């Protein structure tokens, strides 16, 4: 199998799903599925032989680090893990100077950080592709893996209903953008005061007009899961919000994804979680390990979706 890479992707950044058209997103999925098949069959696919990816981690990670580091290896390239203690950014060097310098050494940069503006600034000054591995505002690579998983299980995405149960956080924002792009209806159920940012919801709704996706935010989790094809949840207190965890649990107690809530959805519903999970809080063991869960297929597909993104952007 020879994987063909569309040259129009070369040199672009991957900051948000909304930066890509519906057709381009499905082209990424197509490449991801080809690369997944090659990997499972142990067929070498060194599309990025001799190329280097710098991986900037201002936030710790399990899945992001391992999936990007092994992904660039499978593609024939080399990944450099760069923690805050490895970079001068944490000691006063500007993002601009970091971007200009790394552009002379590397073929691509992945950054996982807190402030979304840091990613935008890095991409502005870098002359090589910048991939958003996560910010407090967005988590686009995760959602690409999620949508790839839903595509595998459901055979299509347009017209599916996704019920997102939990905090209106970075995962929620990228799911709204992803749903808008692929025609998937997204219903967010969250307590008052924890809604997604209105500017992101409004923009996603405008984009959804082209695909027919319906995007809504409601309070009742039971109404959200009615006729849902997919139930999605995330931790109630995101990284950096640990001090608020106990207070948030009071607000989110009725938003747990448990067997009763899952039973109120479609019989063939699939359940997703971006991980790490706080078992017994936002999701129960019974659901996490149950027949509806595709959580670990979803975790694997992060690798394949990100390999496709890297291959296309860094070709």
Q: Assess whether 139 carries a catalytic annotation.
A: yes
Catalytic, out of 58, 167, 234, 306: 234
Q: Assess whether 141 carries a catalytic annotation.
A: no
CB contact set of 55 (below 8 Å; sequence gap of 6+): 65, 68, 69, 79, 80, 81, 82, 109, 110, 111, 112, 133
Q: Assess whether 173 carries a catalytic annotation.
A: no
Long-range (24+ apart) CB contacts under 8 A made by 89-98 are 89/56, 95/121, 95/122, 95/125, 96/121, 96/125, 98/122
Closest CA to 122 of 105, 104, 97, 141: 97
User: Which residues on adjacent β-strands are paired with residue 80?
Assistant: 54
Whole-number Cα distances in Å, 277 to 140, 148, 234: 19, 20, 7
Catalytic, out of 139, 181, 273, 304: 139
Catalytic, out of 12, 63, 65, 112: 112
Catalytic, out of 142, 173, 281, 306: 142
Q: Assess whether 304 carries a catalytic annotation.
A: no
Structure tokens at 26: 């499905």
Catalytic, out of 12, 181, 273, 302: 302
Catalytic, out of 274, 281, 292, 306: 274
Give catalytic residues, as residue numbers.
112, 139, 142, 234, 274, 302
């Amino acid at each position: 199998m020879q994987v063909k890479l569309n040259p129009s992707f070369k040199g672009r950044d991957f900051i948000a799903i909304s930066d890509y058209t519906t057709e381009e997103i499905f082209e990424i999925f197509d490449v991801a599925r080809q690369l997944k098949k090659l990997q499972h069959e142990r067929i070498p696919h060194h599309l990025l032989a001799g190329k280097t990816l710098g991986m900037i981690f201002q936030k710790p990670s399990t899945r992001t680090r391992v999936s990007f580091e092994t992904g660039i290896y499978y593609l024939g390239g080399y990944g450099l893990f760069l923690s805050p203690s490895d970079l001068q950014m944490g000691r006063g060097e500007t993002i601009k100077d970091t971007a200009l310098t790394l552009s002379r050494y590397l073929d691509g940069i992945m950054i996982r950080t807190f402030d979304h503006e840091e990613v935008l600034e890095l991409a502005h000054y870098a002359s090589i592709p910048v991939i958003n591995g996560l910010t407090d505002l967005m988590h686009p690579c995760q959602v690409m893996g999620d949508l790839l998983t839903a595509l595998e299980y459901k055979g299509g995405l347009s017209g599916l209903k996704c019920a997102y149960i939990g905090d209106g956080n970075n995962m929620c924002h990228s799911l709204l953008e992803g749903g808008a792009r692929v025609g998937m209806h997204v219903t967010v159920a969250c307590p008052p005061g924890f809604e997604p940012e209105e500017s992101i919801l409004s923009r996603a709704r405008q984009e959804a007009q082209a695909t027919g996706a319906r995007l809504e935010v409601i309070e009742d989790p039971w109404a959200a899961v009615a006729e849902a094809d997919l139930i999605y949840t995330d931790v109630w207190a995101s990284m950096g919000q640990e001090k608020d965890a106990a207070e948030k649990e009071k607000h989110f107690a009725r938003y747990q994804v448990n067997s009763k809530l899952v039973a109120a959805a479609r019989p063939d519903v699939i359940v997703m979680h971006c991980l790490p999970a706080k078992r017994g809080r936002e999701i129960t063991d019974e659901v996490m390990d149950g027949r509806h869960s595709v959580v670990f297929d979803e975790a694997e597909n992060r690798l394949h979706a990100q390999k496709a993104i890297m291959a296309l952007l860094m070709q």
